[in-house]
Structure 1
């Protein structure tokens, strides 16, 4: 990304959205469940002059994140060990809270989302990533394959699992798993196929949670240079803001791999 203020980034992603009262000053950003720091580093580079607080429960992950941040000479990230459900103790609110790839691994994803929503300033934003039930069908299928064959989440078990999946013939769902780059590293494959807890969602469920939290859906963010948005726009030209979750649900039903990675979307907290 070319670094730009938060307000400019949001306006560029969602040009048709009502973005009155967007704060143009340098942003305060919370990255929840930062893991090994990838999302925190991206945020620090993406948003000009931002101050980023990145939190995670794992000391090992935080140690790796801090080492990589130092190597990249990034100085606007502060790392802390913290539980998402206990972030009220910070006594601080943020212009943007990011939680991508963490809520769906919590025992109660809604409780986590609710706790994070309380950390957003009025008129602030959240960038959320959640697994799609339809989009993860290949992963679910692969996990059923793993259970049938009794592969264990050990280095040798993961290697045997990968070999068996690569050797499987005539199974397109298994073949699609091998096209995910995470499949080819031990840590990536463990997280992809052996994670002990995972929740998956459909868009009506997400719409209901957004409504319960009193948030406003702005739209999805795709890493494909506008290809997905253009396809959706061609299917539903009447949705000028690309923000009708009912229509997006119909679109995903027709295109089950549209959110194969996850739903990545922005919402806004009311004033």
Structure 2
């Protein structure tokens, strides 16, 4: 990892959420290891796979991952000491302990050896000098049946940011306040002002620096991204960016059609697997409630339950009847005990990670 990238995050830890910003456990349901393992392997994660690596964890991710997985060993790896200190402090302020914070480069094979059942590399590979080496290093740490989530910048989503970033680099602009000064002096129809008015990310100092002043950025079209994935030896399991179709082949075709029109669905989010067994389907096995939802569904309260969207789609608010249905699965329910209508309904909730469908 270039020293310039390490220095960037020492100056601008990212993201810079307030230390007292809290997350409800129910909103972390899509980070639960058993839910993900059930979706892609049709079973609960076995003991050797109950380990999570957050590679390039930044200043915040360890907190929601630990909240979602209180009984799982979690390692948070980052090259920035300042980001790790802030991530550790955020966890401590919210009563989270047990996360192992490790400073280092994810490309170093001696750091955080596997196997891990789940590795998260969200917004990381595109900041490496050699993304291919980085993905191979992460794949080497993944155990059998393991799952790796990656997010990389897509070319057509990032075109304006990348253009501005290159211009600022040529002008040797290196400080967020210099950029803000340029915006204040720019005309009302300038591209720079237009970008600032349309982007939420530049509202904060670290967000502006990450978007426009980062020293190492690669943006991908879908086919070069797929070539990167193929080199890792891992299998695409599911895209999870906004509007993604559940079958990877169909989503790839959709993205190619968008790119032919110089469009993109947003940055690419993809789950990859090593020898995944596939989901449990049909009237087999048992259904369980995602443990992150247990408290939220514990009482009969009026109104609806709102959960954040995951796996590429928004979740509709859960009304009383839907919450009542999900409560039935606080203890395992054999799929064979469900009517065809109930089985289809439970399968839909399992596909959205609200329930877990496993062979035993």
Unaligned 5+ runs, structure 2: 1-24, 277-360
- Structure 2 partner of 1:71: 93
Greater C-alpha Rg: 2
* SS of alignment partner, residue 265 of structure 2: coil
1:38-77 C-alpha deviation (Å, 9 max, x unpaired): 2222222234532210011111111111111111111242
Answering whether residue 270 of structure 2 is matched by residue 265 of structure 1, we say yes
Equivalent residues, number:
247
Counterpart pick for 2:127 among 105, 114, 121: 105
Q: Contact 2:136–2:231 at 8 Å: present in 1 too?
A: no
State the Cα deviation string for residues 152-177 of structure 1 (Å, max 9, x = none).
22243132134356x44164x86245
Match of 1:56 among 69, 78, 83: 78
Residues 130 and 200, structure 1, Cα contact 8 Å, conserved in 2: yes
Match of 1:161 among 164, 177, 182: 182
Q: 1:74 to 1:104 in 2, by over 3 A?
A: same
TM-score (ref. length: structure 2) = 0.61
Which of residues 240, 247, 259 is equivalent to 1:241? 247
Structure 1 distance, partners of 2:221, 2:44, is 30
User: Would the alpha carbon gap of residues 75 and 204 (structure 1) be closer, same or farther in structure 2, given more than 3 Å must change?
Assistant: same
RMSD: 2.7
Gaps in structure 1 of 5+ consecutive residues: 234-239
Once the 2 structures are TM-superposed, how far is the Cα of residue 118 of structure 1 from its aligned partner? 0.6
How many Å apart are 1:210 and its aligned residue?
Answer: 2.0
Tell me the distance in 2 between the aligned counterparts of 1:87 and 1:72. 32
Stretches (4+) displaced over 6 A: none
For 2:223 and 2:108, how far apart are their aligned partners in 1? 28
Using the alignment, how far apart are the partners of 2:181 and 2:195 within structure 1?
A: 18
Pairing 1:28–2:51 present? yes
